[in-house]
Amino acid sequence: MNHLSVEESKGLHPWNKEGYVDAAGLEQWVRDRLAWQQQQIDTLLAVTGDKTLENTLRAYDNAVATLSAAGSLASLLDSVHPDKEVRDKARELTQAVAEAATALSLNQGVYRALAAIDMASADPATTHYVSQTLLNYRLAGVDKDDATRAHLRALSDKATLLSLTFAKNVQENVNRVELTDAAELDGLPEDYLRNHPPNAEGVITLTTDYPDMQPVMTFARSAELRLRMFRAYNTRAYPANRPLLLDLLAVRQEIATILGFASWADLATANQMMGSAANLKKFIGELELASRAGAEREYAMVLAFARKQQPGLAKLKSSDRGYWYELFRREAFDFDSQSVRPYFPYQAVEKGILDTAARLFHVSFQPNREAGVWHPQVSAWDVYDRGQLCGRFYLDMHPREGKDKWFSAAPLIPGIEGRQLPEAALICNFPGGKPDDPGLMQYSDVVTFFHEFGHLMHAILGGRQPWAGVSGIATEGDFVEVPSQMLEEFFHDARLLASFARHYQTGEPIAEALVERMNRASAFGRADGIRTQLFYTSYSLDVHNQPPQELNPDALLEEGYKRMLPYEWVDGNRMYASFTHLIGYSSNYYTYMFDKVIALDFFGQFDRANLIEGPTAMRYRKAILEPGGSKPGTRLIEDFLGRRQKMDAFAEWVGEEFAGSSANQQEKG
């Protein structure tokens, strides 16, 4: 099947075959989509007789599909396009599409038409779709009077504008750390020094982009440099984003109040597996208790170790965590994380992860060099299932000026069985992408790559649903981080790593003993890592769960940090100003920890001795990935596990200190 658009007309993408698009062309492309969407709604509203799936739900879903693709592609170009004029236009159009989506979500005529559809002959996926849609209509306030709905629309549009501006500020405001003495870079790897030569005046400039920042926090011997980098990193988009955040929180609270909820957190969890802010508080409390003793023990061990090297050291600062953990792991587990970087040059890792996913999920990936891409660094890949084309993805993996600074997977086009194929993209900031730089990755980078690829597989393999509205990553929002975190676990398999992790100079595969040491070392600090996640989780909840007029985001940050973590607070930390999860996940950052529990339960179903070739992967693909959002999350879980989820695998993982993930970072997208 070819790529068909639901419009069955030209222009599935805003760019042409060469990947070219300018601001005017993009505007025209989005306006055409918005007009077509309106036409679908008009058609639906003009139905006079019985409402059927074909005359009503199909038209509604066409509108949903078009809004989804237009919004996602505009948002993508806002994140990645090299030309600022195009990015600015893309942001403006993302806003326009969001406004159309809000208008649709408050359209009483559409709601009544959907509610009147004869569902007698509907299959379970369709029934689930319609009931979820009607629930979301009610949660949006469709039953309010005209004036109230107009006000809700205005509030929602304002929230969109504030959100987009907040994200733009993070994307465009890179902080810099300048050094005049190369000795300050002591401890950093050779290739890092090579990539950061002094300029004619002898000044070395480091940016807060991830590949610059992360090695400093892990390897730099200079506590002073680490502290400077920590401050530079955690003051990105400050002060600009502070008032934007406060305005956004106020708007969200007003929306929640109008809709009859005590707080935004209650509204945002109402249609999730979590259910309510009270349940969320309970969940945080349980994990807090479960991780406390372990985290205290881990901190005491690392502090005692640091004191041996630096007698008189009172406490570890937040900016010291990565560095001392690294040194501790070297001694306690005989593992130096620099020793594995040569085995993870970017290109080989990319190939290894694609090969792994292909074998695991029984698909194949073909590079498509004809497909238009928005930058020469980007590659396009077609996905085949038993020889049949079933989707496409794009990899945009290295930092660029003006590009989004984080790691995420973005669904672009929702797949609809027999009508259009799914497309998705990864937007990342891994090392490499420059000539002469092999892009040696830290092992935590490779874990992140697995994570994002898990999202990608969900978007593509879930893309054969009858409706766009349940296609791909359309589960409850708090199920979304299950497939990504499940795939992370594969990183720890020595045989799998040996299949692609080869020394970039000698070609020698990574030794099993080294992988074992890496696994043991990286597992150390899990309880501490959970508490770091709980700090972000609690902060996201707390700012959305109290009257915004009285909120002081700085005081709350400091208080929450001190409550959850043992490290000395660094004054001037304004992390919230660049914490973009507050925009996307709002109160629901808990999703990562909540889904980690499920992901580990899922991973426990795999045969460790036969991870890739065993039958579980295909069963997982069919039960979890392929249904997309056509079932509630609890059903997906029971279909795969044959029971409800349990905490056992997670508890074992925390206690076992065996295989671990990076701990001092915000979760990637």
**Residue 588 in the binding site for Zn ion (CB under 5 A):** no
- Other beta carbons within 10 angstroms of residue 663's beta carbon come to 21
Output the smallest distance, CB 485 to Zn ion, in A: 7
CB closer to Zn ion out of 322 and 669: 669
Taking the C-alpha atoms of residue 220 and residue 177, their distance in angstroms, rounded to an integer, is 13
The nearer residue to Zn ion, 187 or 669, going by C-beta atoms, is 669
- In the complex with Zn ion, which residue's Cβ is closer, 107 or 484? 484
Question: How do strand 388-396 and strand 423-427 relate by DSSP bridges?
Answer: parallel
Instruction: Identify which of residues 339 and 408 has a Cβ nearer to Zn ion in the complex.
Output: 408
Q: Are 98 and 30 in contact (CB under 8 A)?
A: no
Question: Residue 257: what residue type?
Answer: T
Q: Cα–chain-centroid distance for residue 566?
A: 27
* Stretch touching Zn ion by CB under 5 A, among 158-166, 473-481, 536-544, 606-614: 473-481
Q: Which is nearer to Zn ion, 298 or 445 (CB)?
A: 445
The angle at the Cα of 625, spanning 621 to 631, to the nearest 5 degrees, equals 125
Alpha-carbon span 137 to 145, nearest angstrom: 14
User: What 3-state DSSP class applies to 276?
Assistant: coil
- Does the CA dihedral 58-63-66-72 come out positive or negative? negative
Distance CA 364, CA 357 (A): 9
Q: Which is nearer to Zn ion, 476 or 481 (CB)?
A: 481
Match 């065993």 to its residue by tokens: 614
Q: How far is the CB of 668 from Zn ion (least distance, A)?
A: 6
Minimum Å gap between C-beta 451 and Zn ion is 6
Q: What is the 3-state secondary structure (H, E, C) of 284-351?
A: HHHHHHHHHHHHHHHHHHHHHHHHHHCCCCCCCEHHHHHHHHHHHHHHHHCCCHHHCHHHCEHHHHHH
**Residue pointed to by tokens 């959970």:** 530
**Residue 316 or 663 having the CB closest to Zn ion:** 663
User: Considering the complex, what minimum distance in angstroms separates the CB of residue 487 from Zn ion?
Assistant: 10
> Measuring CA to CA, how many Å separate 68 from each of 40, 278, 392, 404, 406?
14, 32, 16, 20, 22
In what helix (H) or strand (E) does residue 381 lie, and over which residues does it extend? Answer: strand 379-385
Which residue's C-beta sits nearest to Zn ion?
484
CA distance 43 to 70: 20
Q: Which has the closest alpha carbon to 565: 302, 300, 295, 214?
A: 295
CB of 663 to Zn ion, least distance (A): 16
- The contacts of residue 564 (CB under 8 Å, 6+ apart) are 288, 531, 532, 534, 535, 538
In the bound state with Zn ion, the residue whose beta carbon lies nearer, of 94 and 484, is 484
Q: How far is the CB of 379 from Zn ion (least distance, A)?
A: 21
Task: Kindly tell me which of 169 and 591 has the beta carbon lying closer to Zn ion.
Answer: 591
Helix (H, G, I), strand (E, B) or coil at 235: coil
CB of 490 to Zn ion, least distance (A): 15
- Using DSSP's 3-state secondary structure scheme, residue 382 falls into strand
Smallest gap from Cβ 551 to Zn ion, in A, equals 27
Residue closer to Zn ion (CB basis): 229 or 599:
599
Closer of 398 and 458 to Zn ion (Cβ): 458
Number of H helices, E strands in the chain: 25, 7
Decide: residue 246, CB within 10 A, 0-12 exposed, 13-18 middle, 19+ buried.
Answer: middle
For residue 610, give both structure tokens.
């036969």
Q: Which of 464, 497, 435 is nearest to 628 (CA)?
A: 464
Which of 108, 75, 88 has the alpha carbon at shortest distance from 23? 88
Question: Where in 474-533 is the site for Zn ion (CB under 5 A)?
Answer: 481, 484
Count of residues in contact with Zn ion, rule CB under 5 A: 3
Total number of residues shown for the chain: 669
Q: Residue 448 CB, nearest distance to Zn ion (Å)?
A: 9
Smallest distance from Zn ion to CB 455, Å? 6
Torsion of CA 20, 25, 27, 32, to 10 degrees: -110
Give me the least distance between CB of 504 and Zn ion, in Å please: 28
Least CB distance from residue 484 to Zn ion, whole Å?
Answer: 4
CA distance 444 to 527: 17
> C-beta of 89: minimal distance to Zn ion in Å?
28
Residue 602 and residue 620 in contact, taking contact as beta carbons nearer than 8 Å = yes
The residue (of 410 and 515) whose beta carbon lies closer to Zn ion is 410
Cis amide bond preceding 82, omega within 30: no
User: Cβ 481 to Zn ion, closest distance in Å?
Assistant: 5
Q: Output 238 or 490, the one with its CB closest to Zn ion.
A: 490
218/484 with CB nearer Zn ion: 484
- To Zn ion, the closest distance from the beta carbon of 669 in angstroms equals 5
Question: Which one, 319 or 533, has the nearer CB to Zn ion?
Answer: 533
Q: Which residues bind Zn ion (CB under 5 A)?
A: 481, 484, 669
